[in-house]
Structure 1
Amino acid sequence: MERNGDQAAATLVATYRRLVRQRVRESAGAEIKVEGDAVFVAFPSARLAIACGAAILKDAAAQTEAQPEIPVHVGIGVHAGEPVPQEGDFIGSAVNVAARIGSAAATGQLLISDVVRGLVRTGGAFPLRDRGSVSLKGLSEPVHL
């Protein structure tokens, strides 16, 4: 993106945020904050989070195919926990783990923690693949994905 200049980068970010925000609204999610190219979202259920993430990945791939000059490369991480609300934000280890999982996701990949896997495994709506335990930056113990 650097070779295409600042305007191309701004267009890409705007496209990405529009795409994410539309799906989050449709999925009963709540945007908590944006940090760089990361969007932090809370959902009332793990199933809704995964469905939203899958829809975002599908939309990003379609956008990239339609406009290859503005490629939307997205990787998504989903974790569940009990974050601490603070001044319109959430803090705590659940947020940190979710952020690290998202950072580990490659383009087109949706990674979920073992906690989320436990919450959705009986529904059968999502094909799941065990990635094993993964060491993630900033975390003292590996996380099972």
Structure 2
Amino acid sequence: MSGAMIVVYVLAALAVAEGVALVVLSLRLRARDEEIDALTRRLNTRANLLSGGREAVKQVWQTANIIRKEGLGAAVRTSIEDLADWAEVERPDLARLAPNGRIAILFSDIEESTALNERIGDRAWVRLIGRHDKMVSRHVKRHNGHVVKSQGDGFMIAFAESEDAVRCSIGMQHALSKRPNGIRVRIGIHVGKSVRRGDDLFGRNVAMAARVAAAADGGEILVSEPVRDAVSALDDIEFDAGREVELKGFSGTHRLYAVES
């Protein structure tokens, strides 16, 4: 056998060996990738279970809080009530938003939203809510507000100044009045001392703002007396004579004022 033939056979043998090695390496890499994918799925599943467990505990806590305050009959709740209960459980830090020591809290939701959803259907409702969210966010940003939480058709919004909260509300209602969708939003505002997590004053101020909003009619901006007093010097913001109302969870009656925009 010539030297050239020997070289050819050697090279062929080397090529076969390299091919086999590549196949083995490919199989090992594929097995490793499958192991990594399996491990990732297990980790994701564990994370989801942990997250779901935390959310479940949180939901139970919130439900227990509802039952403790309102009894077993509180099965149907508005977005405002849900947001207020979330805030009482979570206690978001609002003090950082209020350098002057006071914070205006605004709640809003769509009047009779469940009936509206049933009437127009889920797809149209999702589109409507999407447009509504963008409109609210636009006016909140324009008036230096901060969306603390949105849920369903409701919003909890914080402002460092009562004037900004009222002007934001007026802008929202004016924008809604130009739309043919017929939705009516009720808005309530209360201002109180800004406090940090764990302070009881936090709960009272948030609850008051939620109760004020719940007392409003669709298309109405209703404010507490401290809000009215804070902006009373402004010539371009006017209020009606006010009305005495009882607010759930608060003793006595409270005078609330509607913005005449």
Q: TM-score, normalised by structure 2?
A: 0.49
Matched, 1:138 2:254: no
Unpaired segments of 5 or more residues in structure 2?
A: 1-115, 257-261
Q: Which moved more, 1:135-144 or 1:117-126?
A: 135-144
Residues paired across the two proteins, number: 138
Q: Which moved more, 1:134-143 or 1:19-28?
A: 134-143
AA aligned to 1:40 is M
Q: Secondary structure, in 3 states, of the residue corresponding to 1:53?
A: helix
Aligned pairs for 1:78-97 (under 5 A) are 78-86=189-197, 91-97=202-208
Identity level (%):
30
Q: CA deviation at 1:83?
A: 4.5
Unpaired segments of 5 or more residues in structure 1?
A: none
AA aligned to 1:126 is I
**Alignment partner, residue 9 of structure 1:** 125
1: CA distance, partners of 2:125 / 2:205:
30
**Alignment partner, residue 224 of structure 2:** 113
Matched, 1:18 2:129: no
2: CA distance, partners of 1:85 / 1:11:
37
Greater helix percent: which structure?
2
Q: Which moved more, 1:123-132 or 1:45-54?
A: 123-132
Distance 1:96 1:4, change over 3 A: same
Aligned pairs for 1:61-100 (under 5 A) are 61-63=177-179, 65=180, 68=181, 71-86=182-197, 91-100=202-211
Matched, 1:103 2:103: no
Q: TM-score, normalised by structure 1?
A: 0.85
Q: Secondary structure, in 3 states, of the residue corresponding to 2:193?
A: coil
2: CA distance, partners of 1:141 / 1:92:
18
AA aligned to 1:47 is E
